Structure 1
Amino acid sequence: MARLDVNRSGEMEVFVRVVDLGGFSAAARHFTMTPSAVSKLVSRLEARLNARLVNRSTRKLQLTPEGCRYYEHGVRVLANLDEAEGAAALANNPSGLVRVSCNIPFGRHILLPVLADFMALYPDVSLDLSLTDSVVDLLEDRADVAVRAGPLKSSALMARKLGTVKMHIAAAPGYIERRGAPHHPDDLQKHNLLGPSYVRTAGGWPFVAGGVYMTIRPAGNIRASDGEALRELALAGAGLARLADFQVREDFARGALTPVLEAFTATDSEEVHAVFLGQGGHIPARVRVFLDFLSARCRIG
């Protein structure tokens, strides 16, 4: 079984300082020790190594060949240790710019309300936030993190799941008064279905009717570039829209929108992921803390 000796780095540091300062007394003053304590520590080190490092027969400090080699290696080891501790300290106090691309509904309803808390936790981190429902290329657009809804395509990107959101078909009460409420997915052919102008998947609105899965493509007279614009159109009475639960929860509660066909959309949901570059497990501290914050404060479903 390997032996854990937590004093080895301390012994090495004292020995290197003895050499750097030219003697036991100078090293003792540096470490606030007695010269005899420093001498005993070096003797203990020599006994452990089974090698003489310093000749004590002369007044001037004189290293043996073994002592020279140990000193040279010790300087490198202590420099590496300082670098490792510096990296750990930086990880505990991350700084720098994080470029974030986020779909507009999630950004407006979930992310933006809590970003002030993130900035309070990590004041040395700054964010460049882009809200878009277009799927960005992280490398081409120089984004560190992207929040995406819907199925993920196979890629070299890493992903952290933020949850699964229920989807609803919603309409304003005024629209239902004019056009009537659909009672079956087949009734949607008589309605104005508001759809996105962006395409993430080949399918349409999913329904399960009588145990049969079916999809209906929205083919209304208005298409919009983002999910929040579709919500605004639905609120204005322009037609039916398929929207995420976190978008419409308050609208349902205050009666501004009404869910329809809920019996046929019980299984309709979308996964939301934070995707990022992380080949080899290397994630900058500033990106890692932002991902951890998303997982803790922006989980849905």
Structure 2
Amino acid sequence: MPRTDVNRFAEMEMFARVVERGGFSAAARASNVSASAVSKLVARLEARLGTRLVHRTTRRFQLTPEGQAFYERAVAILADLGEAERSAGAGERPAGRVRLNSSASYISHILAPLLPRFLALYPEIELDIVQTDLVVDLLTERTDIAIRAGPMPNSALMARKLGSTRMMIVAAPCWIERHDLPRTIEDLERQDRLGFGYARAVKGWPLRTVEGEDTVLPTVGRVRMSDGEGIRRLALAGVGPARLAAFTIRDDIAEGRLVPILEDANPGDEEAFHAVFIGQSASLPARARALLDFLAEQGQVA
């Protein structure tokens, strides 16, 4: 059992200040205490931990590997403590840090244009945005909200729907000039097609034959990528045709940068988007609930 008379958070805070200020004297000046008091505190901390945290010389201050590891953990713990105090003290006032995980496509075409409005509405909220198309574990990644595309699997996660969007096959005019415009499914099947570099719920490109039968064209090609926005950029560069969400390419089509392909064979399937989180929305911290409600109201895809 740790001694109850040891203020471990104060020790962590002072040790972090020593590291960030580059030495005992600078940390002492910042804390309005003597350098000897700071040195003794770090010495007591080392004695309690049973390891050396810093190498001391007259001219140099250097962390040991153990000191570096302790500093990194201490900073994380102090940040969590600060956020806990801000959340508790704020009550229902949205304040503090929200960690959001989202795809590059949603960030680029939906979230980014809305962020100035959200930040103006909630000046005490800070955002950590992690960009990836991969499905992450919200607990492991310490994520408050994740934006996910596709059908929602059965899980303990809760979700708010953010709309749905048509899927379309498109190619750049420069690619069409080199390969001609595919007019049948067979024409497209003979071409390299841009695809994702990870498994997706829909394995291939759903299409409808002239006889009205549904089929799936496998995604095969020499180039794959890990996110939809990256695939869009490859399509714009003429690397190959791609099947993309309509909300990400609507402007490209309107301005002639991309051309729809085989719209007669498009079955009209849509990809749904959800904001997912752990627990009931009513139990979310005010800061996370503010972002969730804002996205549900203004962050819809179509």
Contact 1:133-1:198 within 8 A present in 2 as well? no
Q: In structure 1, how many angstroms separate the alpha carbons of the residues matched to 2:232 and 2:160?
A: 27
Partner of residue 269, structure 2: 268
Counterpart amino acid of residue 235 in structure 1: L
Partner of residue 256, structure 1: 257
3-state DSSP of counterpart to 2:194: strand
Q: In structure 1, how many angstroms separate the alpha carbons of the residues matched to 2:182 and 2:114?
A: 37
Alpha-carbon shift at residue 265 of structure 1 (Å): 1.3
Contact 2:189-2:217 within 8 A present in 1 as well? no
Contact 2:192-2:220 within 8 A present in 1 as well? yes
Alpha-carbon shift at residue 191 of structure 1 (Å): 1.0
3-state DSSP of counterpart to 2:152: coil
User: How do residues 124-135 of structure 1 correspond to structure 2 at under 5 angstroms?
Assistant: 124-135=124-135
Alpha-carbon shift at residue 161 of structure 1 (Å): 0.3
Partner of residue 183, structure 1: 183
Alpha-carbon shift at residue 87 of structure 1 (Å): 8.0
Alpha-carbon shift at residue 89 of structure 1 (Å): 7.2
Partner of residue 83, structure 1: none
3-state DSSP of counterpart to 1:175: helix
3-state DSSP of counterpart to 2:177: helix
Alpha-carbon shift at residue 285 of structure 1 (Å): 0.9
Task: Assess, with a 3 A threshold, how the Cα gap between structure 1 residues 190 and 280 changes in structure 2: closer, same or farther.
Answer: closer
User: How do residues 167-182 of structure 1 correspond to structure 2 at under 5 angstroms?
Assistant: 167-182=167-182
User: How do residues 130-279 of structure 1 correspond to structure 2 at under 5 angstroms?
Assistant: 130-201=130-201, 203-209=203-209, 210-279=211-280
Partner of residue 31, structure 2: none
Task: Assess, with a 3 A threshold, how the Cα gap between structure 1 residues 101 and 89 changes in structure 2: closer, same or farther.
Answer: closer
Contact 1:207-1:268 within 8 A present in 2 as well? no
Q: In structure 1, how many angstroms separate the alpha carbons of the residues matched to 2:280 and 2:91?
A: 21
Partner of residue 6, structure 2: none
3-state DSSP of counterpart to 1:286: helix
User: How do residues 1-16 of structure 1 correspond to structure 2 at under 5 angstroms?
Assistant: none
Alpha-carbon shift at residue 266 of structure 1 (Å): 4.2
3-state DSSP of counterpart to 2:260: strand
Provide Cα deviations, 1:50-82, integer angstroms capped at 9, x if missing partner.
Answer: xxxxxxxxxxxxxxxxxxxxxxxxxxxxxxxxx
Partner of residue 122, structure 2: 122
List gaps (5 residues or longer) in structure 1: 1-85
3-state DSSP of counterpart to 1:193: coil
Q: In structure 2, how many angstroms separate the alpha carbons of the residues matched to 1:89 and 1:132?
A: 31
**Bigger Cα Rg:** 1
Partner of residue 293, structure 1: 294
Contact 2:206-2:267 within 8 A present in 1 as well? no
Contact 2:281-2:289 within 8 A present in 1 as well? no
User: How many residues end up aligned between the 2 structures?
Assistant: 215
List gaps (5 residues or longer) in structure 2: 1-86
Provide Cα deviations, 1:133-186, integer angstroms capped at 9, x if missing partner.
Answer: 111110111100000111111100000000011111010111111111111222
Partner of residue 91, structure 2: 90
Structure 2 length-normalised TM: 0.68
Task: Assess, with a 3 A threshold, how the Cα gap between structure 1 residues 172 and 202 changes in structure 2: closer, same or farther.
Answer: closer
Q: In structure 1, how many angstroms separate the alpha carbons of the residues matched to 2:205 and 2:172?
A: 18
Q: In structure 1, how many angstroms separate the alpha carbons of the residues matched to 2:199 and 2:281?
A: 31
Alpha-carbon shift at residue 114 of structure 1 (Å): 0.8
Does structure 1 residue 111 correspond to structure 2 residue 81? no
Q: Would you identify which runs of 4 or more consecutive aligned residues in structure 1 move more than 4 Å?
A: 86-89
Counterpart amino acid of residue 150 in structure 1: G
Alpha-carbon shift at residue 97 of structure 1 (Å): 0.9
Task: Assess, with a 3 A threshold, how the Cα gap between structure 1 residues 157 and 121 changes in structure 2: closer, same or farther.
Answer: same
Task: Assess, with a 3 A threshold, how the Cα gap between structure 1 residues 280 and 230 changes in structure 2: closer, same or farther.
Answer: closer
Provide Cα deviations, 1:171-230, integer angstroms capped at 9, x if missing partner.
Answer: 011111111111122222211100010212252111122221111111111001111111
Does structure 1 residue 283 correspond to structure 2 residue 284? yes
Q: In structure 1, how many angstroms separate the alpha carbons of the residues matched to 2:275 and 2:223?
A: 30
Q: In structure 2, how many angstroms separate the alpha carbons of the residues matched to 1:87 and 1:98?
A: 15
3-state DSSP of counterpart to 1:129: strand
Q: In structure 1, how many angstroms separate the alpha carbons of the residues matched to 2:262 and 2:281?
A: 46
Task: Assess, with a 3 A threshold, how the Cα gap between structure 1 residues 185 and 94 changes in structure 2: closer, same or farther.
Answer: same
Provide Cα deviations, 1:205-263, integer angstroms capped at 9, x if missing partner.
Answer: 11122221111111111001111111111111111001111111111111111000111
User: How do residues 34-49 of structure 1 correspond to structure 2 at under 5 angstroms?
Assistant: none
